[in-house]
Amino acid sequence: MVSERPLPRDGPDRAYAPLVGVLALQGDFAEHEAALRGLGLRTRQVRTAGELVGLHGLVLPGGESTTMLKLLDTEGLWQPLGHTLRSGLPVLATCAGMILLAEKVENPPQRSYGLLPITVVRNGYGRQFHSGTFALSSTSLPAGTTGTFIRAPRITHVGDGCEVLARRGDDAVLVRKGPMLAACFHPELEADHPVCAHFATAVRNHAACQPTAPPT
Ligand code: GLN
């Protein structure tokens, strides 16, 4: 008899799914986990350096970048996280996460990893009152894709080697450099957002190339 039931999402098959670390010091890490698990990936909340080992992808979620910076120092994670970010695994950074990766941060200036050649202005679209869901224009995303912006950073400069994948009006809001994908908005808050699916595909491809690749 052929079962037509879908494979259980938390069943044994999940044991072989690629593993994505989600920085869980602060912010909307739980929403990222839910989105990735819905796409069939395993997730691990990352709060210590040891939890960075053995990952096939990494998410820097939205939240408050100043608080994240403080907690990264308190937990001794600044350096180990930087090492992992430079190691070539797929990274999805949203909002505050994107601020952590930017080369230059304004309003006010603050420390960052400087791995993405972009300048970002914190809260560049105004404060909570101006938050909302807006249309995106993109040749990489399906027509009609939207982005939810919450006290979002505004990208005011995109440097060499950084590809713009989506815009809100004239502004770049989704950028990619190598394995790093960064969004001013929150794809994890919208069901089946193509940005999460795109990241999940990158994670699967990366995992398949690892010596410890799970059996398929
Ligand atoms: N305003 C926050 C910051 O500057 C980012 C907001 C968000 O992640 N949704 O850190």
pLDDT digits over 102-120, tens only?
A: 999 999 999 999 999 999 9
Atom of ligand 1 nearest to the CA of 27: 8
Residue type, 80: P
Report how far residue 102's alpha carbon sits from residue 111's, in angstroms, rounded to the nearest whole number. Answer: 9
Identify the active-site residue in 56, 162, 184, 186.
186
**Cβ of 122 less than 6 Å from ligand 1:** yes
- Crossing angle of helices 78-85 and 65-74, in 10° steps, is 110
pTM of the prediction? Answer: 0.91
CA of 98 to the centre of ligand 1 (A): 9
pLDDT digits over 44-96, tens only?
A: 999 999 999 999 999 999 999 999 999 999 999 999 999 999 999 999 999 99
Q: Is 12-208 a CATH 3.40.50.1100 domain?
A: no
* Contact assessment for residue 174 and residue 154, using Cβ atoms and an 8 Å cutoff: no
CA of 26 to the centre of ligand 1 (A): 11
Angstrom CA distances, 103 to 43, 54, 118, stand at 28, 27, 6
- The three-class DSSP label of residue 133 is strand
Domain boundaries defined on the chain: 12-208
